[in-house]
Amino acid sequence: MTEPRTSALSKRVLDEYAAVRDTLPAGVVSAERRQEAIQSVAAHGLPSSREENWRYSNLRPLERARFAPAGEPLAAGVSPAPGAAAVAGAAATTRSLPSPSELPAKLERFARYTFVDGVFAPELSSPTQGQAGLTVHSLRRATQGAGGRSVSKTVFQLPRTLPALRHLPEARLALLNEAFATDTAAIHVEDAAGEPVRVEVLFIAIAGAETGTSYPRVQVSLDPGSRLIMVERHIGASGGASFINSSVTVDVGRGAHLTHYRLQQAGARATWLDTLSAVLAADARYGLLTVNIGGLSARSTTHVQMAGPGAELTLSVAALGDRQQVQDNFALVEHIAPRARTEQTFRGITSGRARVGFNGKIVVRKAAAGTDSRQSLRGLLAGPEAEIDVRPQLEIYTDDVRCSHGATAGKLDDDMLFYLLSRGLSPEVAQRLLKWAFLEDVVSKIQLPELRRQIEHDLAGQMADAASLKELL
Amino acid sequence: MLKIDNLHVKVDGKEILKGLTLDVPTGEVHAVMGPNGSGKSTLANVLAGRPGYEITAGSVTYQGRDLLALAPEERAREGVFLGFQYPVEIPGVNNVYLLKAAVNAARKHRGLEEVDAFEFLTLVKEKMRLMRMEESMLTRGVNEGFSGGEKKRNEVLQMLVLEPRLTILDETDSGLDIDALKIVANGVNTLRSPERSLVLVTHYQRLLDYIVPDHVHVLVKGRIARSGDKSLALELERRGYDWVTGEAA
């Protein structure tokens, strides 16, 4: 089955892995697990756009990618010391850390953990003490020189998501991340009464693709009954051409609540790949809201397993594509246990020559009686050369389910546009206003006013039609 | 204010207006009446610049300028206002934002500074009281979930806030009960002045009991078939449109 081109790529992945494996931190992922992962990738090959669930992705950058980790940038103002940037065999560079003022404003009452090119950057982090029940570790740092013994055992528990992840053909990129991982933000919440704990993980990609890949990695687990609000943000140097392959695993225990905001704002020329895999126990609640703005070629894979009865998932995605961007999203929700509920909302806008895709698949297994799932997927074409693909899929293996879906893809409403023009608004303002209104179904779900303002600001910036167009051409 | 001369307009290749001529001097209120399909809404939409109308002959002059050469938003900024027959709902764009954006677009066009937010809100609330509208409507999406009557009142509210020189109301009376009709008429009447002109497009005479026109025109098959004073509307009410369409045929 494997075609020559793919196998050549697989071979290169193996070679690159072999060259750097001894430098990869075993405290982050053990050598055995890395080996397993890389073999699995080699056996199955990397995804190709000939595959059904990848057909809207732009995977060409994979062919040119350097898979070895980009490595650690230097602290600002520090001159390169021998071996300082040599983690994972990356070429020595003069990359330096951004100053804290260049980062997005810190959210009040949130602990912030910042990772640069996939490696924890304590200088740019501000862990908040005193959030009861919350433990956050950089696995790389926590295990350095201690052989892993200094970190509490819970951090190393293999999240239950991982076995599921390994069996999903869409998770091959996450396996690649596992093989090359340079660090992990390991977040654990113990049962704690009162206010939910709050964490922001901020990933910054600085290295260019020629230096290597950036591997953001997050592992979240919530004990039964615990509550966490997590903000996961990915940013890049403006115009940066990084190659990013992110992996997030989420384990929401019985009756626990996780509110998870994700903002993908990679650099304008970056390749962005990400895999999120989550498992929900009984009566767990998971609110996942993703805003995809950045990158030139972006592909986001989400896999959520409704493993416990009565689990609830709200999955909301807003994606904006402009210029030559490709924003592809695949979201698979698997109902295994009975009486779980899913609400999926997608709003995507394309303009310029961009392509945005959302493939929302819901599978209801035999034991999942009483499943209630709703999908509302809408795409807006805001330019004659733009493309949008919105696709709901349902696979149901039991009776007694309520599944509804609505999917539309269309242009800006002419009547709405004319109404605004007839009130004196310029066509540019009118269009922007209507695009804005279109995203409202997702944006209005952001419960944190401060974050909502930031995201609205970022969305507005993205829509302020292409001041940076020249920079790209 | 407005001079329409021998206007011919096609929609989807079919001629709807066939040589319409109409003169609306400054300070006057003109009613354009007519049976269904006579071209009333086409006239209103052409004046506001809605796309999809092909002007094959004739001219429209507004304050001495070629109105048809202006984009819809330019017409609005120059003081032309269309009250829609079917105001569209725009969820996600709130009413007060639209009002402010509209006022500021016109002010910018005239070289004025943006309106003061507080003063503006005070003004809008005052006009809303006149239109008997709940203040909570301000923060709702434009016409979102509004009843037919509320939408029409919202159109008149926008008109009151924008203070246009030329207003065209396209069947603003349709779908209104008598109380709402009085509120709408009262709102429109407050804007009557020697500097402003108004074109009321309507099917029924009823509205004209409350907004008394200076002239009444009957549109039949794309042309003005008859013009007169307000008594023409009453005669139409009594004798029906057949009376004029029969003559025009």
Predicted confidence band at B102 (pLDDT cuts at 50, 70, 90)?
very high
Task: Report the residue from A424, A436, A437 with minimal CB separation from B77.
Answer: A424
Helix (H) or strand (E) holding B228: strand B223-228
Residue B210: how many CB atoms within 10 A of its CB? Answer: 16
**A11 vs A20, A33, A50, A88, A170, CA distance in Å?**
14, 19, 19, 19, 20
Whether pLDDT at A360 is above 60: yes
Q: Which two tokens stand for residue B72?
A: 């819809």
Entry pTM: 0.81
Whether A6 contacts A60, CB under 8 Å: no
Euclidean distance between CA atoms B208 and B230, whole angstroms: 8
Euclidean distance between CA atoms B8 and B2, whole angstroms: 16
Query: pLDDT tens digits, residue range A206-256?
Result: 999 989 999 999 999 999 999 999 999 999 976 778 999 999 999 999 999
Euclidean distance between CA atoms A335 and A305, whole angstroms: 6
Report the number of secondary-structure helices (H) and strands (E) in chain B. Answer: 8, 12
Provide CB contacts within 8 A for A404, sequence distance 6+.
A373, A374, A375
Give the 3-state secondary structure of residue A46.
coil
Task: Report the residue from B84, B105, B142 with minimal CB separation from A424.
Answer: B105
Tell me, rounded to whole angstroms, the distance of Cα A255 from its chain centroid.
24
Measured at the alpha carbon of residue A365, what is the angle toward residues A359 and A370, in degrees to the nearest 5?
Answer: 100
Q: B148-162 and B178-190 helices cross at what angle (nearest 10)?
A: 10
- Least confidently predicted of A124-133, A215-224, A440-449: A124-133
Supply the pLDDT for residue A284: 97
Supply the pLDDT for residue A84: 37
Give A438's contacts in chain B (Cβ within 8 Å): 92
Q: A172-180 and A31-44 helices cross at what angle (nearest 10)?
A: 140
Chains A, B: CB contacts within 8 A come to 76
Whether B197 contacts B1, CB under 8 Å: yes
Predicted confidence band at A72 (pLDDT cuts at 50, 70, 90)?
low
Supply the pLDDT for residue A78: 43
Give B82's contacts in chain A (Cβ within 8 Å): 422
For B12: left if phi > 0, alpha if psi spans -120 to 50, otherwise beta; the answer is left
C-beta atoms of B101 and A425 within 8 A? yes
Give B90's contacts in chain A (Cβ within 8 Å): 416, 419-420, 434, 437
Q: Which two tokens stand for residue B61?
A: 């002059």
Q: What percent of chain A has pLDDT over 70?
A: 86
Helix, strand, coil abundance in chain B, percent, nearest 5: 40, 30, 30
**B228 vs A321, B3, B29, B193, B220, CA distance in Å?**
57, 17, 12, 21, 15
- Least confidently predicted of A78-82, A279-283, A297-301, B241-245: A78-82
Helix (H) or strand (E) holding A86: none
Tell me, rounded to whole angstroms, the distance of Cα A344 from its chain centroid.
16
Query: pLDDT tens digits, residue range A407-421?
Result: 999 998 999 999 999
* Interface mutation vs chain B, best among A347, A420, A440, most B CBs within 10 Å: A420
Supply the pLDDT for residue A162: 52
Which residue numbers of A have CB closer than 8 Å to B's CBs? 413-416, 418-427, 429-430, 433-434, 436-441
C-beta atoms of B162 and A429 within 8 A? no
Beta-carbon-side half-sphere exposure of residue A376 (alpha carbons within 13 Å)? 10
Task: Report the residue from A424, A429, A440 with minimal CB separation from B106.
Answer: A424
Query: pLDDT tens digits, residue range A381-401?
Result: 988 999 999 999 999 999 999
Tell me phi and psi for residue A22, to 5 degrees.
Answer: -70, -15
Residue A359: how many CB atoms within 10 A of its CB? Answer: 22
Task: Report the residue from B50, B97, B142 with minimal CB separation from A418.
Answer: B50
Question: Shortest Cα distance from A232 to chain B (angstroms)?
Answer: 26
Helix (H) or strand (E) holding A17: helix A4-20
Query: pLDDT tens digits, residue range A10-47?
Result: 899 999 999 999 999 999 999 999 999 999 888 888 88
Predicted confidence band at A77 (pLDDT cuts at 50, 70, 90)?
very low
Which residue did the predictor score with more confidence, A295 or A72? A295
Q: For domain B2-248, give the CATH number.
A: 3.40.50.300
B126 CB-contact burial (10 Å; exposed 0-12 / middle 13-18 / buried 19+): exposed
What separation, in Å, do the N-terminal and C-terminal C-alpha atoms of chain B show? 31
Edge-to-edge order in the sheet of strand A341-350: A119-120, A111-116, A197-205, A227-236, A257-265, A285-292, A312-321, A341-350, A372-381, A402-411
C-beta atoms of B92 and A440 within 8 A? yes
Residue type at B206 in one-letter notation: R
Supply the pLDDT for residue A131: 87
Whether A199 contacts A110, CB under 8 Å: yes
Euclidean distance between CA atoms A50 and B26, whole angstroms: 68
Which residue numbers of B have CB closer than 8 Å to A's CBs? 48-51, 71-73, 75-77, 81-82, 84, 87-88, 90-93, 97-98, 101-102, 105-106, 109, 141-142, 158, 162
Whether A303 contacts A278, CB under 8 Å: yes
Query: pLDDT tens digits, residue range B188-211?
Result: 999 999 999 999 999 888 999 999
Q: What average pLDDT does the segment A333-352 reach?
A: 96
Whether pLDDT at A104 is above 60: yes
* Interface mutation vs chain A, best among B46, B98, B139, most A CBs within 10 Å: B98
Euclidean distance between CA atoms A293 and A298, whole angstroms: 9
User: Which residue shows structure tokens 């004046």?
Assistant: B47
Torsion of CA B30, B103, A382, A318, to 10 degrees: -130
Give B105's contacts in chain A (Cβ within 8 Å): 423-426, 429
Whether pLDDT at A464 is above 60: no
Give A424's contacts in chain B (Cβ within 8 Å): 73, 76-77, 101-102, 105-106, 109, 162
Give B73's contacts in chain A (Cβ within 8 Å): 421-422, 424-427, 430
DSSP 8-state secondary structure symbol assigned to residue B68: G
Supply the pLDDT for residue A55: 86
- Least confidently predicted of A191-205, A448-462, B45-59, B145-159: A448-462
CB crowding A205-221: b at 16 or more within 10 Å, else e: bbbbbebbbbbbbbbbb
Q: Could you tell me which of A293, A291, A232 has the C-alpha nearest to residue A258?
A: A232
Supply the pLDDT for residue A429: 86
**For A79-171, where are the alpha helices, taking DSSP H only?**
139-143, 161-167
Predicted confidence band at A53 (pLDDT cuts at 50, 70, 90)?
confident
- A429: nearest CA partner in chain B: B101
Q: What average pLDDT does the segment B235-244 reach?
A: 87
C-beta atoms of B72 and A414 within 8 A? no
Report the number of secondary-structure helices (H) and strands (E) in chain A. Answer: 10, 20
C-beta atoms of B49 and A422 within 8 A? yes
Edge-to-edge order in the sheet of strand B14-24: B14-24, B2-11, B54-62, B65-66
Q: What average pLDDT does the segment A248-273 reach?
A: 96
Question: Shortest Cα distance from B57 to chain A (angstroms)?
Answer: 23
**For chain B, where are the alpha helices, taking DSSP H only?**
40-48, 72-77, 95-109, 117-130, 148-162, 178-190, 230-239, 242-248
**A305 vs A11, A368, A473, CA distance in Å?**
32, 11, 42
C-beta atoms of B142 and A413 within 8 A? no
Supply the pLDDT for residue B65: 96
C-beta atoms of A418 and B93 within 8 A? no
Q: Could you tell me which of A175, A229, A232 has the C-alpha nearest to residue A37?
A: A175
DSSP 8-state secondary structure symbol assigned to residue A69: B
Euclidean distance between CA atoms B245 and B243, whole angstroms: 6
C-beta atoms of A419 and B88 within 8 A? yes
What's the whole-number average pLDDT of chain B?
93
Query: pLDDT tens digits, residue range B76-101?
Result: 999 999 999 999 999 888 899 899 99
Q: What percent of chain A has pLDDT over 90?
A: 65
- Least confidently predicted of A431-445, A453-467, B56-70, B110-124: A453-467
Q: In DSSP terms, which residues pair with B5 in a beta bridge?
A: B59
Q: Which two tokens stand for residue B135?
A: 């203040």
Whether A400 contacts A368, CB under 8 Å: no
Torsion of CA A464, A318, A106, A72, to 10 degrees: -90
Which residue did the predictor score with more confidence, A30 or A159? A30
What's the whole-number average pLDDT of chain A?
86
Euclidean distance between CA atoms A57 and A299, whole angstroms: 6
Euclidean distance between CA atoms B241 and A461, whole angstroms: 56
* Domain chopping of chain B, boundaries: 2-248
Predicted confidence band at A86 (pLDDT cuts at 50, 70, 90)?
very low
Whether pLDDT at A166 is above 60: no
Whether pLDDT at B169 is above 50: yes
C-beta atoms of B90 and A434 within 8 A? yes
Task: Report the residue from B73, B82, B93 with minimal CB separation from A433.
Answer: B93
Give B48's contacts in chain A (Cβ within 8 Å): 422
- B51: nearest CA partner in chain A: A418
